[in-house]
Amino acid sequence: MLTKILLLILFFGIMVAVGLYSRRHSTNVNDFVLGGRKVGPWLTAFAFGTSYFSAVVFVGYAGQFGYKYGIAATWIGIGNAFIGSLLAWVVLGRRTRIMTKFLDAKTMPDFFGKRYHSKALRIAAAFISFVFLIPYTSSVFNGLSRLFGMAFDIDYKYCVIAMALLTCIYVILGGYMATAINDFIQGMIMIVGIVAVVFSVLNGKGGFIAAIGKLAEFSSDIEVTKGQPGAFTSFFGPDPLNLLGVVILTSLGTWGLPQMVQKFYAIRDEDAVKTGTVISTVFAVVISCGCYFLGGFGRLFFPDPQTLVENGKPMYDKVIPEMLATLPEFLIGVVIMLVLSASMSTLASLVLTSSSTITIDLIKDNIVKKMDEKKQLVTMRVFLVIFIVLSVVMALKPPALIAQLMGISWGALAGAFLAPFLYGLYWKGVTRSSVWCCFVVAVGITVVNLFPATQFIKSPINAGAIAMIAGMVVVPLVSLLTPKMESGEIKFVFDCYEEKHMVEQRYALPGAEEGGKEGKAAPAKKEQSRSSSKKKRK
């Protein structure tokens, strides 16, 4: 217990110290929200990864889906690493950095307002962000506090309140830069922690081979296995279709989440995007695959599914804490650091995103016409506190399991934002009407499916996945049928991709004509002349 307490004190001390150190980087709105757009690849990659994986994944998702699908749950981790991380960086990273810098967009709603030349879209996106980030934050508090209760035997509500206060302190002090530096420190703890935990849990069950052998014997849960022998050690598990829904939601969902995409706004330059892509993917492989792989052995700790049932409902959030309770005290301390690291980084990202969105996109220029930098910073800090209080209230009496809360949040946010954001970066033909339709469809699917009387999709996870897929279909379809934006508006936005003239620079590098091959020199001169004539025309 002394070891765990000392580790906690050290952890909290480092976070507050980083917040104090980062105060000098939070003197204006751009610094507070985006770190001045000067954040390097390592800090950005770890900020992206640690915001992605929190107690929601480690406790809620890994516990629930590992118990349901067995070892096949590792596919969720693989999808998270290569779709949610690698592909997100490749497809979104560079273009997001260029366009948001060109438009001077600081938040996701700010991007929608400037990309589509619509103040109304900006306000609607800000409202959706603020409302649906609250369930996500509550699910993080929920997962984190359950592990604290297991390790320290502290009442759940005190854990929630303590985490909220700590998050408030270091985000208010240092803004984005404080969260980025802390994310890097926390990310290193997460990597060491997950490796140690997986090895220790499996070792407690006789090693990997013995644990797999025991897991293969489970076939008592006929409702899940459908009588398949060895269902929980099979390649795709007992329920591949629902497993695919989880992969889609948790992997593709990051492409439309404001707190994730805004990491690309802050990265230093295009070269840093390339380095960050590799770092972020490696981080995701270790953390996400490790979490879901560990959760796949949950049935070894709860052989009878009825032992998880409370008040007629299965409490999957108990699986991971029970698995970890068997570890030595020192390793439990490591686990607490692991989950704290994952969760605090996610909480910081969520509250910063929410408070900046409500200030920049709703209050500034709409409610308060003249709002200088100082007033904006004060307002952001006030709403940061308000957002945390609302999340704590929901976390103290959670209406659903962790995974379901996150499914609601991700479904509405990613369903509403993914398609308009992705298509908006690449396609000039997206119309304002299509964005409005996407907002209505995604939020409509999520909200209607919340109520038992109107529920048409049993799982909130699958509902979220369907909302995202629907958006990807609705935006191009409606764009083809509705009036286009003015050509001048489109040209203004997409001019940002023509400024660097990457091809001309590549062929005209110093020394290109020294290689002795005259055939390569002519194209370089030709491209340069084209570039110069183009600039003259402009």
pLDDT in tens, 328-344: 877 777 777 777 776 77
pLDDT at 307: 77
Residues 6+ away with beta carbon under 8 Å from 438: 415, 416, 419, 420, 471, 474, 475, 478
Give the pLDDT band (50/70/90) at residue 501: very low
How far apart CA 528 and CA 525 sit, in angstroms, is 5
60 pLDDT more than 80: no
Averaged pLDDT of the chain: 80
Domain spanning 2-396, CATH class: mainly alpha
6 pLDDT more than 90: no
532 pLDDT more than 70: no
Return contacts of 27-32, CB within 8 angstroms, 24+ apart: 28/373, 28/377, 29/106, 29/360, 29/373, 29/376, 29/377, 29/380, 30/106, 31/175, 31/176, 31/177, 32/175, 32/176, 32/356, 32/377, 32/380
Tell me the pLDDT tens digit for each residue of 207-249: 889 989 888 887 655 555 566 667 788 888 888 888 888 898 8
pLDDT at 437: 96
499 pLDDT more than 70: no
Percent of the chain at pLDDT > 90 equals 24
503 pLDDT more than 50: no
Token couple for 225 = 């296995």
Tell me the pLDDT tens digit for each residue of 394-412: 777 665 555 566 677 888 8
pLDDT at 226: 61
The mean pLDDT value for 302-320 works out to 78
445 pLDDT more than 80: yes
418 or 18: which leads in pLDDT? 418
**pTM recorded for the entire structure:** 0.80
Residue 133 near residue 350, CB atoms below 8 Å: yes
pLDDT at 151: 64
pLDDT at 228: 66
Question: Could you tell me the residue ranges of all domains in the chain?
Answer: 2-396, 501-537
172 or 83: which leads in pLDDT? 83
